[in-house]
Amino acid sequence: MSDVINNKAHNRYELDVEGHIAATYYRLDGDVITFVHTEVPAELGGKGIGSKLVKGALDQVRTAGLKVIAQCPFVKAWIDKHPDYTDLLKK
């Protein structure tokens, strides 16, 4: 399994698994990143790929010093389950 990459040309973080791309899409406005939608191909469902994708994306967001708006229900639920990431949320 590869690492999560930021595909800035498509405004999404991607994770390539077995030739399938899982992606979480975002909008960037200054130092605020809004996650709007996450897609995990059916072939990858139930393998924790979405969680690995979101964790990898949020780790990069933290390193970049950005604040997060979790518009995407999947990203919001993931952050709710991992309180050590709530500091990233824009107040």
Average of per-residue pLDDT values in the chain:
96
> What integer is the mean pLDDT of 83-88?
97
All structural domains of the chain: 5-88 (3.40.630.30)
- pTM beyond 0.75: the answer is yes
Q: Are 13 and 57 in contact (CB under 8 A)?
A: yes
